[in-house]
Structure 1
Amino acid sequence: MLWGGRFSKDPKKNVLLFNSAENILVDEKLVEYDILGSIAHVKMLGKQKILKAEETEELLRALNELLQEWKTGKFKLDPNLEDVHMNVEVAVTKKTPHGKKMHTARSRNDQVNLDLRLYMRDEIKNLIGFLKNLQKSLEIQGKLKVDIPAHTHTRVAQPITNKFWGDGYSVSFEKDIERLEQLYKRVNKNPLGACAISGTSWNIDRDYTAKLLGFDSVEENSLETISSRGELESELVFVCSLVATQLSRIAEDLIWLSYVGLIELPEEYCTGSSIMPNKMNPDPLELIRGRTGRVYGNLLALLTIMKATPTGHNADTQETKRLAMDSVEIVKSCLQMSAEIIVLIKWNQKKAKELIDQGYAKATLLADKLAMEGMSFREAHEKVGSLVKKLQKEGKYLEDELK
């Protein structure tokens, strides 16, 4: 073990598996980030003369070789080495004995913080891309303008257009994009140099490392940097939860609107029944609703993990990685599926008119018209309400009265 000097006994194998078996699978998403972070760290150590020029050169060569081995599938993570950081260090040390110096002025505490920030930076950009793609799908479905009924309390309310329906969700997703952009600014600060918790006595250059890794600035307080682990992940999953909420609402809209015949779902995005030959089920949309619950659960788990950890680093926060990554993958897949379905839905104009008429959706328009002509709105409301009741009994519609 790289930290074995303090111990007289090796940890039991089942302890290592308990600590690392699941974690090492999650860490596979961080390998490239860990190597890139190590490259920047080694360059900084060389610049500051903490490493000799030849040591720096050999370490950079080894790290770049390892990066290529990871990309080609030759480098695999070993759960017996606990995590991605120790796996990378051991692999580099096999290539050059100077690998033992690579961890100078660094802790796994600020190292994992760095890896997660690099991961979140990329995934925030990816999520924004998926959101903009969905906005485009919503725009496309609204090009063929159709008057449709809007609903309140699941009852016909007033007439709108399918474009207006799509624009409503698009505006909501624009808010999510703004939230992600704001989060990106908080994520995009260099945590390296915080080390275990109180910084380092080495003469490091954190600004240089920040520049190499594309950070806007550095985190100033090392205690806060280490203690707040999980905070940025929670914020990311919170935004994912809001996105998932809107996706679930869209899914529910489409399921219900297809049931009443207002839209036709694309057949290739439905499934059948093993026993009922007549069925065409909107399974992808139902799964979007269901997986929203998983994202909510991840957010609650993250907050629960954070609430009881004392100041400093605690192994509890290891659990935050899986929760954040799971949420991001769920939301990306749901965004993609939603975009593919929405662009292919077909609005039934005949059914839309029928529902507008049967629901007396233009009643408010008529009440407003009477009020504009001088009648008080409350009187107009009463008059039109009585008219609707009369027409319902006669089997007639407001359209007949408005001609």
Structure 2
Amino acid sequence: MNLMGKKMLWGGRFSSSPKEKLLKYNSGENAQLDSLLIPYDIQGSIAHVKMLQKQKILSASEAGAILSALKKVLQNYKEGKFTLNPSLEDVHMNVEAEVTRLTPHGKKMHTARSRNDQVILDTRLYMREEIIRIAELLLSLCKSLESLKQRSSPFPAYTHTRIAQPITLSYWSESFQQSFLRDFERLLSLYSRANINPLGACAVAGTGWSIDRAYTAKLLGFEGVQENAHDVSTSRGELEGEMLFVLAEIMIKLSRISEELIFLSQKGLVSLPDEYCTGSSIMPQKKNADFLEIMRARSSRLIGSLTAILSIQKGLISGYNSDSQETKPLLFSSIDIAKGSLEIMADALLSMETDKAAILKELENGYACATELADLLAKKGVPFRSAHEITGEIVKECIKKGIWLLKLDANAISKKAGVKLLQNELSSALSPDKTRETRFKTAPLALSQYEGKIREMKKKINLLWGV
């Protein structure tokens, strides 16, 4: 790539072209990453040109020529005929250069805007669609968890990685369902803040041209306008950071599920089919759910990206700073990680199997129903603290004798506690199966209300793309 004698689109005040290695350093990953923004940059330019024509800043013939060129560039992009030239720095300069090659009126396209507000616009258009896609994947995962809720099976609950109490697979699934739905609501909230038009803010102080930012917002399906131009310029990275926070929350939950499945599968309580596992190059017996380990690690990467995106924003004076372009690779890669992780986890959970006999044995070996026994004694009139102590002594004796709580005799317990217990009520309290029947009721999740919210968000975007 030889830039000697090549004049940049902004090169009027320069007497020489920038060094090739300087442009390469400044652009970093921009040329590659900006390819994702090509359709959004063109869509933003189409809206901008239509607004300029409405305001009579461009004539009908000028606007028509530019719009025709923009649509041609978009078509070429879809057909793989338009790619970015790294020597032009970014997607904005590439699109403008190509439009200007197709029509001399392209030189007027950049009137009343800056790359500063352009890149924020492109990023928001991109984020809107990705927020919707991630919301859809979250609901897909919740549907997989809903499928698990239909299975009537005991399940262990742990505290401090030790057996705590019996629950059900349905109850376990519902707990993650509810936590992911909080992330869904976070995405909706983020969408409302991302769905505001920044275009027209220009570099940092707005423009003296008589533009109509509300009209541009309408064309692009935005709900409103970000009024203060200085705020627009300064805010790059803010929504990206918020997006990464939501994605980090999602990945942390996925990492927890991953760790739990690894933990439970080692105990033989759950298993995944062969198609979700790999083997060892030396140990023939191995069956490893590698994707769970990779998912744990990728959650750490995303947390690191969140930390980086927040750190990039600190210590900058207000207005635009090129530091903020380094948020782009963090945003794009984090979105890819989250989407891939949600998709594979949703599929894997549908295939997960549980071993009821092994789970019941795990619960019995961990004396998981001890709390139920203490509660039963308390209901019979024994002060709870005393019931707790009596039950602890009973567990200690069971451990010494190597017997399960379910084998206890009601008469012996009655004598020790000073209350009358019937064998059937004792057996009911000490049976994990009986406990789950009476205690852990879950309700079907009405996913349609969440799907309706996604449809509403997609409606305007589909109109924008003519779908």
**TM-score normalized by structure 2?**
0.86
List structure 1 runs of 4+ shifted beyond 2 angstroms.
none
TM-aligned CA deviation for residue 328 of structure 1: 0.7
Instruction: Give the structure 2 partner of residue 294 of structure 1.
Output: 301
Residue deviations 1:229-256 (CA, integer Å, cap 9, x gap): 1000000001111111000000000011
Q: Answer yes or no: is the 8 Å Cα contact 1:248–1:292 preserved in 2.
A: yes
Counterpart of 2:114, as a letter, is: S
- Which of 273, 279, 296 in structure 2 is aligned with 1:266? 273
Percent identical residues: 54
- Which of 335, 340, 355 in structure 1 is aligned with 2:362? 355
Gaps of 5+ in 1: none
TM-aligned CA deviation for residue 196 of structure 1: 0.3
TM-aligned CA deviation for residue 142 of structure 1: 2.4
Name the SS of the counterpart of 1:343 in structure 2: helix
Name the SS of the counterpart of 1:69 in structure 2: helix
Aligned residues: 403
Counterpart check, 1:183 vs 2:201: no
Q: Answer yes or no: is the 8 Å Cα contact 1:21–1:79 preserved in 2.
A: no
TM-aligned CA deviation for residue 330 of structure 1: 0.3
Counterpart check, 1:231 vs 2:238: yes
Residue deviations 1:172-208 (CA, integer Å, cap 9, x gap): 1011011111111111100011100000000000000
Residues in 2 aligned to 1:285 and 1:18: alpha-carbon distance in whole angstroms: 36
Residues in 1 aligned to 2:341 and 2:156: alpha-carbon distance in whole angstroms: 26
Residues in 2 aligned to 1:344 and 1:133: alpha-carbon distance in whole angstroms: 14
**TM-score normalized by structure 1?**
0.99
Residues in 2 aligned to 1:22 and 1:366: alpha-carbon distance in whole angstroms: 62
Residues in 2 aligned to 1:36 and 1:283: alpha-carbon distance in whole angstroms: 41
Counterpart check, 1:376 vs 2:383: yes
TM-aligned CA deviation for residue 356 of structure 1: 1.0
Q: Answer yes or no: is the 8 Å Cα contact 1:141–1:163 preserved in 2.
A: yes
Residues in 1 aligned to 2:362 and 2:239: alpha-carbon distance in whole angstroms: 46
Q: Answer yes or no: is the 8 Å Cα contact 1:45–1:204 preserved in 2.
A: yes
Counterpart check, 1:306 vs 2:313: yes
| RMSD (Å), alpha carbons | 0.8
Instruction: Give the structure 2 partner of residue 100 of structure 1.
Output: 107
Residues in 2 aligned to 1:399 and 1:54: alpha-carbon distance in whole angstroms: 87
Residues in 2 aligned to 1:219 and 1:49: alpha-carbon distance in whole angstroms: 23
Residue deviations 1:338-383 (CA, integer Å, cap 9, x gap): 1111110100000011011111111111111111111100010011
Residues in 2 aligned to 1:148 and 1:228: alpha-carbon distance in whole angstroms: 47
Residues in 2 aligned to 1:240 and 1:234: alpha-carbon distance in whole angstroms: 10
Instruction: Give the structure 2 partner of residue 153 of structure 1.
Output: 160
TM-aligned CA deviation for residue 141 of structure 1: 1.8
Residues in 2 aligned to 1:313 and 1:157: alpha-carbon distance in whole angstroms: 53
Counterpart of 1:159, as a letter, is: P
Name the SS of the counterpart of 1:157 in structure 2: strand
Residues in 2 aligned to 1:232 and 1:311: alpha-carbon distance in whole angstroms: 16
Name the SS of the counterpart of 1:160 in structure 2: strand
Counterpart check, 1:55 vs 2:62: yes
Counterpart of 1:74, as a letter, is: K
Instruction: Give the structure 1 partner of residue 340 of structure 2.
Output: 333
TM-aligned CA deviation for residue 161 of structure 1: 0.3
Counterpart of 1:224, as a letter, is: D
- Which of 235, 239, 248 in structure 2 is aligned with 1:241? 248
TM-aligned CA deviation for residue 214 of structure 1: 0.3
Name the SS of the counterpart of 1:159 in structure 2: strand
- Which of 89, 92, 98 in structure 2 is aligned with 1:85? 92
Counterpart of 2:70, as a letter, is: L
TM-aligned CA deviation for residue 318 of structure 1: 0.6
Counterpart of 2:109, as a letter, is: M
Residues in 2 aligned to 1:73 and 1:176: alpha-carbon distance in whole angstroms: 36
Bigger Rg, which one: 2
Instruction: Give the structure 2 partner of residue 399 of structure 1.
Output: 406
